[in-house]
A and B are shown apart, each in its own frame.
Chain A
Amino acid sequence: MSDLFAFNGAEGAGWSQPLPSLGVDESWSTVPEPLRRASPPGWPRASEPELVRHYTWLSRRNFGIDTGFYPLGSCTMKHNPRLNERIVQLPGIDRIHPLQPEHQIQGLLAIFFEMQEMLAICSGMDEVTLQPVAGAQGEFTAMRCIQEYHRSIGQDHRDKVIVPDSAHGTNPASAAMCGYDIIEIPSAADGRIDLAALKEAVGDDTAAMMITNPSTLGVFEPDISRAAEMVHTAGGQMYYDGANFNAILGKTDPGRMGFDAVHYNLHKTFSQPHGGGGPGSGPIGVKSHLAAFLPSPIANRRERVEDDPIGVGDGYWYVWKEVGESSIGKVQQWHGNSAAVVRAWAFYRRYGRELERMSEHAVLNANYLRHRIMNPDSDTAARMHAMPLDGAPAEVVKHEFTLSMSALKDAVGVTGRDVAKRLLDYGVMAPTLYFPMIVPECLMIEPTETESKEVMDRFAADFHTILGEDPEIVTTAPHSTDVRRVDEVWAARNLVLRHPGPE
C-alpha cells in the first residue's frame, strides 16, 4: 500500500524552484498582517522519485480502455489516439490565454471555426458554440437558449419539459436547473416513444421535449418525426441529446429528424480522453431561430484583405463574433474546453467525410456482439442457467444494446450486478448497470468501433461462461481484483471524505 501522506521527507524536497531573480525580498510583507497564514497546509513532503512511484502504483490499480475492453454503454469508450495528446502539448494550445488578442490566436480560431462548421454539417444545425464543457452543460445551455427564445416571443408561460422515462438523468436535471417542471412520459412496451403518452403530455405549457435518438436502449426511434411534429404543433422545441451521436454520423442527423437544438459529446463521439470522469466537451448546435441566444463568443472568419497579416495561410482572417444583446451570457468563463476541441479536431481529421465509416463500424460491432451473446451454440446454451433477455425487441440495434438478467435472477438468484462484478474477474470493464431503469436487471453494452472481432468473441464467450458458473462464485465476485466487493453503504453512512492528515 502506498499512502501519499506517509511521505515525510526533507523540507521542500519536491519543488525545484529557480533562485530568485527579482530585486525584491521574498517576504511576507505583501500580505496584510491579520491575513497571514499561520501554518502551512498538511500536505505530504515528498520528492519526485517517491511521487512517481506512488502515482505509478495508483495507475496500476486503475482500469482504462488501454487496459482492456470497456463496454460501458452510453459512454462511448473508444480508443483515444495518442497523436491527440501530443498535439495538445504544443505551446500553441497549452500556453495560450483565452483573452489574448485575435491576431495571436489565429490557429486556435481556425480550428474552432472548422469544428463549428463540421459539427453543424454533421447534425443539420445552423450555428454551433463550442463553449459548454460537458454534455450536461450543453443540455443546460441549449435549454437556457430555448427558455430565452420563448421569453422573446411572449411565451414565458411555457414551463414544462417532457422527457421519456428512459432519458439520461442529466436531461431532467439540466431542465430543472433552468427552472422547468419535468413531465416524464412512459415508454411504450417495446421501449420506444409512446406517441399516445406524448400526445397527453404536450400542450400550451410545453417548452420542449428532450430525447436521444437512438434511444438509451440503442434502438432508433422510427416515430421521431411524428414526435417532433406533435411538439412543434403545440409550440414546443425539440432538444436532441447527442450522447448517442456515434451511431448515426453520415446516415441521418437531428436536423432531418426535426430537432431545434442538439449537444455533442466530443469526449464520446470524438474521443477526447476523460480519465476518472472528465474533462468532457459538450458543444451545442441550434437552428437559426435559436442562434441569437447562444453564449458568446463564436469563432468566425472573413476573407483576408491586403493589410491583414498572413494568419494561418488559408486566405482567411479569423475573429471572435459576439452573439449580441439577446445572448444568454456565458456558461463557462472562457471559450470552453479548448484543448478538448483541439483533440476532437485531430480525431475528426483522421476520418473527414468518412466519419460515416466510424458509425457503420460502431453499429456493426454492437450488432455483432449482440448476435454473439444472444446466439450461443447448443452446447454452450445447455451449460447456462438462463439466457439473457433482449432489453428491446429490435431487429437491429444501433451503437449499443441492453440485456436483462431477470431470467437469470429468477433461475438462480444471480443479479445483473453480480454478472457485472464477475466480468471484472475476466479482465474487462463492466457494462453500464441498471440503466435505463425501464429494463429490469439491465446491462447496457456499447463496444464502440475500435474493438476487434476477437475481443468481442472473447467477451461473448466469457459472458456465456459466467451465466453457467456456480452462482456462489458469481454472487461473491469479483475475486481477482485489487479489492473485492466494496461496502458502499458504510462509505455513505460514515463519510470519511479525507485523510486524517500527516502524522
Chain B
Amino acid sequence: MNVLDLNHVRRIFADDKKNKVIALKDISFSVDKGEYVAIMGESGAGKTTLLNIIATLDKATSGSITLDNFDLNKLPEKQTAKFRREHLGFVFQNFNLLDTFNNRDNIFLPLVLAKTSYPEMEQRLRPLAEQLDIKSLLERYPHEISGGQKQRVAAVRALITKPDLVLADEPTGALDSHNTENLLQLFERVNAQGQTILMVTHSAAAASHSKRTLFIKDGQIYHEIFKGDHSRAEYLKKIMTSLAALSSKEV
C-alpha cells in the first residue's frame, strides 16, 4: 500500500511573466508503507521545494500528490495545519525546539494542539522516551542539553503523533559523527517497527541507512538505488558512485 504518491509534480515560482524559476520539473515516485526513503541532490536541485510540497507548506503548480489517500492539491488551506499534525511528523536540521517549553512540553506540543488529554499524552510518551533514551531529559529545557539530545527529543516529538509519514530535513546536518550515527540507527530501528520515513540529506552515509535512495537533479528524479540485499558498505559505495556521476558536468 502506498503512503505517498507523486505524479508529474511540477512547481514553478514566478514573480512575473519574465522571471520564472522551475524548481520541480517533473517528479513522480511513490513511497510504500514501512519504507525508508532518502532523497539526495545538490543545493538548488529542488529538495526543499519537494519537501515543502509533501509537508503541505507549499502547493504544486501541476501534477497530483496523494498522501494516505488525501489529494494534497485539493486540501483546503485551512485544513493543512490539522492535516500536518494528524498525518506527518517532522524532524528538522535545527531541531526547532522551542526555548519557552521544557523538553516534555516540546514533545507534547503537537498533541496539545490536537487537544489530546494529559493522561493519554503521558501514556504515549512513556515507551518512546524509554526507547529513545530521553527520560532523564524531559524536565530540562532545550538550551540545557546537547545537539544529539535535542535531535532525539525532536524525533520523539515527530513520532508521538503516530504519523503516517515522518519527514526528516537534513536531520544530521547539525550533529557530530557520533550523534549522527546514533540518530541514524534510531531511525532504522523505528523504521523496522513499521514507521515510514522520508529523509532529505546531503550525506551519503546518512542515505546508506535507508532502504532506497532517490537522486534529484534540476527538478527531476535522476536516479534511484535500492538497498535490497546489499550490505551497508556496498550500498554506500553505489550511492557515492551515483553522487559522483550526478555532480559531473556531462550528465
Same complex: no
A residues apposed to B, CB below 8 Å: none
B residues apposed to A, CB below 8 Å: none
